[in-house]
Structure 1
Amino acid sequence: MLARYKAWANGITYSAVRSLPDGEALRPRPTRFGNMVHTLNHVYVIDDIFKAHLQRAKHGYTARNTQDTPALDDLWRAVQAMDAWYVDYADALTERELGEMIHFEFVGGGDGAMTREEMLLHIVNHGTYHRGFVADMLYQARAASPANDLPVFLRDVYRAS
């Protein structure tokens, strides 16, 4: 359910960002990642890093974001594929697998260990956290930020289907 929530919330957020006037999503703002698209790219990078952890694979990242900001439409396509991967992955896990501890190295250095369930919760929480920054930037751009919290998803999508 949480992986589906994340995909739904991403869809709403990307729709709002993609509907902005040209250049607005890349306009420099006083925020950690500089603009809306680079903030959303950070979420994608972390999703990709944890996907690799879940697969016990190397991810190849040396930072928690890329140096260059991708084109918004390219990033949106990549995020849709990533969200579909997480939904399929979560659907296939057993209770035993959810509790399995995975050891990894943090991008910034140091050892980490989380269960698969904790990693899935992290990517959902992490995306929510940064979508909040994007929502603030949407308000700065005088654009509406759509309601994308869990209760709205449960009411309008998850339990309505």
Structure 2
Amino acid sequence: MLTRYSAWAHARLFKALESLPEEALARDGGGAGSILKTLNHMHIVDRIWQANLEGREHGYTARNTPTLPAFAELTVEQRSIDTWYVDYAAGLSGEKLGEVVPFTFVGGEEARMARVDMLLHIVNHKTYHRGYIAEMLYRDKVKPPTMDLTVFLRDVEPDAADA
């Protein structure tokens, strides 16, 4: 459910951002940088954790890229990885969710986590950064879309409460 929620929230955010001019997306918002840089960071981290879950090298030495993609390209790429996470989580058994997987952080430190904890981290990470983008939008007098889990459960998965 959390990966479906994350994909839904991303879709709402990207839809709201597509009406903004590219220069607004690239404007430095302080802290983590621009909206585009924050979106790219979220995407790169998604790809890193995808590789960790698949047990392969991710090839990244940083949690962002020196050159940022265009918003349209990033939109397609994020939709693709969101779909991958939804499908991946749906295909995991309870036993597989609890499986502990070794991986290497971007900084080179070795670690181990259960798949379920990795997935929870990924969802939380994106929620945190969507909040940061919402703050940047508010500063620019743009109302961000509602991306709350409760709204997702009410509007998209109302039967979840009966499960």
Q: TM-score range by the shorter chain?
A: over 0.9
Per the normalisation by structure 1, the TM-score is: 0.96
1:13 aligned onto 2:7:
no
Q: Deviations over 1:21-40 (max 9, x none)?
A: 341111122122x1001101
After superposition, residues 58-69 of structure 1 pair within 5 angstroms as 58-69=57-68
* Structure 1: distance between partners of 2:30 and 2:42: 18
Amino acid at match of 1:72: F
Superposed displacement of residue 116, structure 1 = 0.5
Superposed displacement of residue 115, structure 1 = 0.5
Partner of 1:104: helix, strand, or coil? strand
1:135 is aligned to 134
Q: 1:70 to 1:99 in 2, by over 3 A?
A: same
* Structure 2: distance between partners of 1:136 and 1:149: 14
For structure 1, the residue ranges without an aligned partner over 5 or more in a row are none
CA contact (8 A) 2:9 2:147 kept: yes
Greater mean deviation of Cα atoms: 20-29 or 121-130: 20-29
Superposed displacement of residue 93, structure 1 = 0.3
Amino acid at match of 2:83: A
More contact order relative to length (CA 8 Å, sep ≥ 6): 1
* Structure 1: distance between partners of 2:43 and 2:135: 19
Indicate the percent of aligned positions where both proteins have the same amino acid. Answer: 47
Per the normalisation by structure 2, the TM-score is: 0.94
Superposed displacement of residue 160, structure 1 = 6.5
1:153 is aligned to 152
1:3 aligned onto 2:37:
no
CA contact (8 A) 1:104 1:113 kept: yes
